[in-house]
Structure 1
Amino acid sequence: MARRRQDHLARRAKELGYAARSVFKLEEIDRRAGLFRPGQLVLDLGCAPGSWAKYAAQRVGPKGRVLGFDLRPVEVPLPPNARCEVLDVTARDPPLSVDGRAFDVVLSDMAPSTEGVRFADQFRSYELFTRALEIAAKALAPGGSFVGKIFQGPELADAKSRTAALFAETRVIRPRGTRTESYELFLLGLRKRR
């Protein structure tokens, strides 16, 4: 039954012009946390296949911009105010501002290539999460927001602590669109401290 609902989400995403069902996860996070406003500048880490970049671009409107990076190119059309480039953000910092302006939101849907060894997969997810948080610490304007994917595991408490050190509010969200067998969560940091 749950798998059938998930398949429905994948079909619905395609009908709406999104590359993947992950768009509904971001939509729920946005609805619950109020991430986006018109005119914002958004950094999307792990932007392929493009659903999050497209959703964010629509939410920030024509005066906002979305800049994304991934190991893989995004092959779906994006709105004119969104651009995704190939870059390994674990090896090199992405641009930390655009035209001298810091980002308002940093998104990370980065996930490791999983091997089926849960402990190893969780740790690699934690490493990607901490890298995204490190980039967010440098790139976000005061008051900005961060969303980062992490696999639930022993490192979650440390990830929450690191996030809480940078933001006035920290939340853990498991969106309804997450597959039942998945152990992915999203850590939110709201209102970045100076």
Structure 2
Amino acid sequence: MTARSGSKGGGGKSGAARGLHVRVKTAKKRTVSSARWLERQLNDPYVAAAKRDGYRSRAAYKLIEMDDKLHVLRAGAVVVDLGAAPGGWCQVASERVRSRPGDSAPNGKVVGIDLTEVVPVPGAEVIQFDFLAEDAPERLRALLGGPADVVLSDMAAAATGHKATDHLKIMALCEAALDFAVDVLKPGGAFIAKVLQGGSENQLMATMRKHFAVVKHMKPPASRSDSSEMYVVATGFRA
């Protein structure tokens, strides 16, 4: 994950086949923590599903699982992906709104931004830029060419290891994403953003309720149960 305009982690799929558990031992240049991380990756059905289905990250399934319930990524919709790297959410969005070359009408549009470079995603236009830069919203609006139907944010700042600090940093990113969403969404539009549980998200939710008809939390199955990560979801934007 890149500091400030953040990237997404890896992904998998509900009901993915589970094989034999792979154990990883520490080696000369491998710490205990890195061995545990590698073992978890090797045994994660969402990681395996992402490889099988051609998604760049296990995070793709978080969006798939949420949209299967929300149905906001409709054909022809215009979508903004904040913190787009490595591109998994752009892949899902472009499939569902039909923005890929050769997709049948109605055709949507997907625009993304990340501080790190993103390998081109068919059907999406992603720029390498800091979302918190003063002129970032203007650049995104220029690419959109008009209002958006959905604003997505999977942004997360580089972790410090201090829970309270990390929570405040990701909440600041979420608040910036919400400000942008309020500025660019069409009436009836939707906003989805990652947060970390920690208490201060209640104030964010209260602000969201001023602008959206329905506001709630979601934790898709692809989000690891031992993670404090969850998503705030708002639909029915009031322009």
> Which TM-score bucket, shorter chain as reference?
over 0.9
Displacement of 1:163 in angstroms is 1.2
Looking at structure 2, the residues matched to 97 and 105 of structure 1 have their Cα atoms a distance apart, in angstroms, of: 16
- Does 2:95 match 1:58? yes
Displacement of 1:102 in angstroms is 0.3
Q: Which has the higher strand share?
A: 1
Deviations 1:154-176 (A, max 9, x none): 21101111111110110100111
Deviations 1:123-174 (A, max 9, x none): 0010000000011010111110000101111211011111111101101001
Looking at structure 2, the residues matched to 56 and 117 of structure 1 have their Cα atoms a distance apart, in angstroms, of: 33
1:34 maps to which residue?
Answer: 71
Q: Structure 1 unaligned runs (5+)?
A: none
The 1:166–1:13 alpha-carbon spacing in structure 2 relative to 1, beyond 3 Å, is: same
Displacement of 1:115 in angstroms is 1.1
Displacement of 1:96 in angstroms is 2.5
Contact 1:45 1:109 in 2 (8 A): yes
2:25 maps to which residue?
Answer: none
Q: How many residues align?
A: 191
The 1:71–1:33 alpha-carbon spacing in structure 2 relative to 1, beyond 3 Å, is: same
2:132 maps to which residue?
Answer: 90
Displacement of 1:32 in angstroms is 1.2
SS at match of 2:81: strand
The amino acid of 2:71's aligned partner reads G
Displacement of 1:98 in angstroms is 4.6
Looking at structure 2, the residues matched to 16 and 97 of structure 1 have their Cα atoms a distance apart, in angstroms, of: 32
Match of 1:78 among 103, 109, 121: 121
- Does 2:166 match 1:121? yes
- What's the % identity of the aligned pairs? 35
Deviations 1:20-76 (A, max 9, x none): 00011000110111111111110000000000001000000031110000001112x
Per mean C-alpha deviation after superposition, the further-off stretch among 122-131 and 175-184 is: 175-184
Deviations 1:79-105 (A, max 9, x none): 2x2111111111233323656420000
The amino acid of 2:47's aligned partner reads A
SS at match of 1:96: helix
2:210 maps to which residue?
Answer: 165
Q: Structure 2 unaligned runs (5+)?
A: 1-20, 22-39, 100-106
Contact 1:97 1:103 in 2 (8 A): no
SS at match of 2:93: helix
- Does 2:54 match 1:9? no
Match of 1:43 among 53, 76, 80: 80
Looking at structure 2, the residues matched to 174 and 5 of structure 1 have their Cα atoms a distance apart, in angstroms, of: 23
The 1:99–1:154 alpha-carbon spacing in structure 2 relative to 1, beyond 3 Å, is: closer
Looking at structure 1, the residues matched to 144 and 132 of structure 2 have their Cα atoms a distance apart, in angstroms, of: 23
Looking at structure 2, the residues matched to 166 and 6 of structure 1 have their Cα atoms a distance apart, in angstroms, of: 41
